[in-house]
Amino acid sequence: MDLNNPEFQANLLALQKDEAWAVLKTVRLLQAMDWQQLVLSKGLRWELIQSRQGPQGQRLYSLRVSRSCRAVAWRDGDWLRFLSLHPDHDSAYC
């Protein structure tokens, strides 16, 4: 898992304490999962974002990281690379 994207880090640090902890709990959960578990998880709701591409043209995905927040990420080989966090769910798709 790669959490080093500056946009993701800025989004995480801007969250209220309780929301940031909820995101970090999900990150811990993700660390223990394989790709199949992530894709099939009903709670995380891994979804292709058809309206956007990653920095190098990668396919971007949205996943629920808390009750009120979604993350945008992409798969890079064995890595899950986070791009951003979106407290407003709809903004993850724009």
Check if the beta carbon of residue 46 is closer than 8 Å to that of residue 63.
Answer: yes
Check residue 67 and give its pLDDT. Answer: 86
Check residue 68 and give its pLDDT. Answer: 86
Check residue 94 and give its pLDDT. Answer: 54
46 or 90: which leads in pLDDT = 46
Check residue 34 and give its pLDDT. Answer: 95
Check residue 3 and give its pLDDT. Answer: 95
- In the CATH hierarchy, which fold is given to the domain comprising 6-93? YaeB-like fold (3.30.2310)
Check if the beta carbon of residue 59 is closer than 8 Å to that of residue 51.
Answer: no
Q: Tell me the whole-structure pTM to 2 decimals.
A: 0.88
Q: Averaged over 18-41, what is the pLDDT?
A: 95
Strand order in the sheet with 79-86: 47-53, 59-64, 70-76, 79-86
What residue ranges do the domains of the chain occupy?
6-93
- Which of 84, 59, 94 is CA-nearest to residue 2? 84
Check if the beta carbon of residue 76 is closer than 8 Å to that of residue 59.
Answer: no
Which residues, at least 6 apart from 80, have a Cβ–Cβ distance to it below 8 Å? 1, 2, 30, 38, 73, 74
Distance separating alpha carbons of residues 64 and 72, to the nearest angstrom:
9
